[in-house]
Amino acid sequence: MLMEALAKLLTKKEFEDVSVQEIADEATLNRATFYLHYADKNALLQAMTESRFRDLIERRAITFNDCNGALRAIALGVCDYLAERAGCPTQLSRMALEGSIIPIVEDMFKEGLAHHGMAPGEDASLPATTAAWAVFGAARRWFQTPNRIPAEEMAARIETMVSPILFGASQ
């Protein structure tokens, strides 16, 4: 209910101008209930973005239980996310995409790297952050290109470019 309320409010106002009280009122809940679930409106936005991003991956029926195909699926999800944002109301499309999608992709990469094991003393944060920005940057360039190639083809290219960052880190 809170995510739906935030999405509805964003069709009318900029994110910065939306208050927690307005979100709670729109959801017909009180502020205390909001704070039981989210620390602030940024946490709600992050949860909403993650939910929508995972829905995009599921809509394409992309599943991965291991690393085979995971990077390509994530890259395709980012391409779809950018394409979907283009059809959103003005306020949603103006939101800082970097602030909402990159941390989600970064966390997915950290989770994957944790399964591979890092070298002693190595931290998964740097390669995960680097790869997340690389995926987003390449997908954004793709999205801004007129007569762009299909998203599936771009995801394959992104996978080729970014996999050395992730797989080199776990060796």
With the CA atoms of 36, 40, 41 and 42 taken in that order, what torsion angle do they form, in degrees rounded to the nearest 10? -130
40-96 residue pLDDT tens? 998 998 888 888 887 877 777 665 555 667 888 889 888 988 887 655 544 444 455
Write down the domain spans for the chain: 64-169
Q: What angle do CA 44, 135, 56 make, to 5 degrees?
A: 50
pLDDT digits (tens, 9 = 90+) for 153-167: 999 999 999 999 887
Model-wide pTM > 0.85: no
Phi, psi of 163 (to 5 degrees): -60, -35
Q: Residue 1 carries which DSSP code? A: -
Question: Average model confidence (pLDDT) for the chain?
Answer: 84
With both helix axes pointing from N to C terminus, report the angle between 70-86 and 151-169 in degrees, rounded to the nearest 10: 130
Least confident of 55-59, 93-97, 133-137, 148-152: 93-97
Instruction: Judge whether residue 29 has pLDDT over 70.
Output: yes
Average pLDDT of span 16-25? 94
